[in-house]
Structures are given as structure tokens and as C-alpha cells.
Amino acid sequence: MEHKPVSIVICARNEAENLRKNLPHFLNQNYRSFEIIVVNDNSSDKTEQVLLEFQQKSPKLRVINLYNPTFPGKKTALSTGIKASKYDFILLSDADCRPRSRQWIRQMQAPIQGEIRIGLGYSPYRDASGWLNRFIRFETVYTATQYLSFALAGIPYMGVGRNLAYHKELFQSTRGFQKHMDLLSGDDDLFVNEVARPFNTSIVLEPGAFTVSEPKHTWRDYYYQKRRHLTTGRRYRPLHQLLLAALSASHAGHYLAGLLLLLSGTCIIPVLLIYLVRIGVVCWLYFSILKKLDARDLWKWVPLLDVAYLLFYFAFAPGLIFGNAKRWK
């Protein structure tokens, strides 16, 4: 297997504590040739100081400090890091993430051979107590199931910047993020939506290739994070928008149709049987999915989380229609 030299690019704004905790996991990768570029994007905390301390100990770390105002989001910072990279193979993550294993680089780059130019990785959130954490992790699994399954079916439409790999020449040949610089998000999913094709995209599901992220701790913070992310969907290709809308409609339609049947006076028994058949199939499928995506503890909560996901649609529909946030930090 070819071991290509790799440039890891991480953008950071006011991430001093996260970098202190997570950067060692990137620096200690069991891989022959790699560099880590951290772009410090106008931080006002001790991010620059923390990075200087790491840089003095590790020649693999390169730091780029941005002091002038940039476009909304992290696209300017990310573009700067990619352009400064020494190697053609780019591997992306975030300051609040850490690789699951020391084999992360090796396993993320392994499938990208020949015509394959993009590697879609998976990034679960850290397990914690409480319903917010359960819902965040379930929604992450739900989203991953969609984009990974679509990619396997030859319809790649997005990836997540917490764990994403592609060739630098692909970024340069498409002028990077120029088509959506006006949006706060989209440095991952909109870029993949633009450049990914069935013949040039692969998924990476080795557990050692996961990156673990820190979840939000309040419903308010989670709401604004997801609203920022989801507004990019309006820029997806029409086919992708149609397919994703159909999936959401089938999920919500199941429960709404059941409710309407009950309100119309239909006997509860056939409605209950339809529900039990569907939720039985859903639980059977999730048994394998959650095992593969290392979230088996969620399986017993699937019936409740599947219903709760309806609130997700209604909570974020206004944001999808009327606008998006203006800041990434």
C-alpha cells in the first residue's frame, strides 16, 4: 500500500483549551510523513500562545496566524491552510476533534488510490449523559447513514469537515469555495456536493479512522450550530435536494398519516400494526448501523429518538427557508 505524504489542516478561532487537549492526538499519529497546519483565525484567547508551545516541541506543526478580518465562516482560513500545504493529499479536521486512533491518517488515506480523489470519513460525538447528547449522537448517525449510503449507491452529495480527505489539485481546479464564499457554512458539504462523483469518491468506515468531536452542551447552542449547517442544503444539486426531501417527507409522513387516521376515527389496531411493522424494520436496521458507527448504546432509545426527530424537521424548517447565521464563532 502506498503511503502518501499528508497535510492535515485545522482551523481554530478561540480554541486554546481544545487545542491543548486534542492536538497531541494529531501530532502522535503512527505515520511516516505528514505535517499539521493550524490556521489561527483572529483568536482573542490564548490560541496563539498554545500553538507556539506545541510548535517549539514538534517540527511537524506549522502555524499560520490571521490577524485581519475574513469572510464569514472559516473558508478563508481553510483556503489559506490548503494553499500553504506542502503535500497534495489534504486531510481535514477541527480543533474540537481528536482521532480515535494513531492509525487515523493511514486508514483515511488508504482507499484514495487511482481515480479516487475524495475520502468521506465519519466523526461521532463524544458519549455523555442526558437527552441532548443522545439526540445529537442519533442525529449524527442519521445524517452519516444518509451521506455514506448515498455515496455507496453512486450519489455522493456531502461530507463532514471534521473528517474529510481530498487531493489539493481537486481543490485548486475548482477554485475551492469561491462559489459559496457568501455562506457561513459549506466548506465541507457544498464543496463535496460540487466535486464528488461516483468514480472519484470513497467512504472510510474503519473505527480507527473516526474522529471524535465534542458535542454542544445546551439545546440553544445545538440549535444555532445545526441551523448554520443546514442552510447550505439550499445550494445542493436539485437531484440531491429532491432525494433528501423525499426521505424527510417519508419519515414525517408516516407519523402525520397515523395521526390523521386516528383523528378521522379509524380503528387504532391497524394504525398500531402499521407503526409496529415500520419501527420493527427501523430497529432491525439500526442494530447493524449503530454497531458499525460505534453507538450501540442508542439502540434501546431508537423508537423514542425516531419520533423526536420529527421535532428536528419543524425546528429547523424556518431557518432553511428564511436565512442563516453570520458568524462561525
Q: Are residues 273 and 209 in the same domain?
A: no
Residues 122, 202 within the same domain:
yes
Question: Region 300-305: what's the mean pLDDT?
Answer: 96
pLDDT of residue 176: 82
Q: Are 76 and 180 in contact (CB under 8 A)?
A: no
**What CATH number is given to the structural domain containing 155?**
3.90.550.10
* Structure-model confidence comparison of residues 303 and 267, the more confident one: 303
Task: Say if residue 150's pLDDT is above 90.
Answer: yes
Q: Above 50 in pLDDT, residue 58?
A: yes
Q: How far is it, in rounded angstroms, from Cα 23 to Cα 240?
A: 35
CB 74 within 8 A of CB 35: no
Query: Which range (35-44, 69-78, 138-147, 316-325) has the least confidence?
Result: 316-325
* Cβ–Cβ under 8 Å, residues 54 and 20: no
328 within domain boundaries: no
Final residue of a structural domain among 197, 223, 249: 223
Of 118, 117, 116, 136, nearest in space to 127 by CA: 136
Q: Does the residue 301 lie in any domain?
A: yes
> What are the percentages of helix, strand and coil residues in the chain, rounded to 5?
55, 15, 35
pTM equals 0.91
What mean pLDDT value characterizes the chain?
Answer: 91
Total structural domains in the chain? 2
pLDDT at 288: 96
Q: How far apart are CA 329 and CA 317, in angstroms?
A: 23
Q: Return the amino acid letter for 42.
A: N
- Domain extent, residue 252, equals 240-320
Q: Supply the pLDDT for residue 313.
A: 77
pLDDT at residue number 265: 83
Tell me the percentage of the chain whose pLDDT exceeds 90.
Answer: 76
Determine the Cα angle at 123 with ends 120 and 126, to 5°: 175
Q: What is the mean pLDDT of residues 34-54?
A: 96
Q: What is the pLDDT of residues 79-107, one digit of tens each?
A: 999 999 999 999 999 999 999 999 999 99
Let me know whether 204 and 257 are in one domain.
no
Whether residues 184 and 142 share a domain: the answer is yes
Name which of 188-197, 270-279, 293-302, 314-323 the model is least confident about: 314-323
Q: Where are the alpha helices (DSSP H) in the chain?
A: 16-27, 47-57, 75-84, 104-109, 131-152, 168-173, 189-195, 219-230, 238-263, 268-292, 302-322
What the block records as the C-alpha cell of 92 is: 481535514
For residue 317, give the 3-state DSSP assignment. helix
Tell me whether residue 233 is in a domain: no
Which candidate, 223, 189, 181, places its Cα nearest to that of 79?
A: 181
* 201 lies in the same domain as 88: yes
Residue 325 resides in a domain: no
For 267, list phi and psi in degrees, rounded to 5. -55, 135
User: How far apart (Å, rounded) are the C-alpha atoms in residues 166 and 268?
Assistant: 52
1 part of a folded domain: no
Which residues is 265 bridged to in the sheet?
none
- Left, alpha or beta for 114 (phi > 0: left; psi -120 to 50: alpha)? left
159-204, pLDDT tens digit by residue? 999 999 999 999 999 888 888 877 778 888 999 999 999 999 999 9
Residue 321: pLDDT over 70: no
pLDDT tier at 2, thresholds 50, 70, 90: low
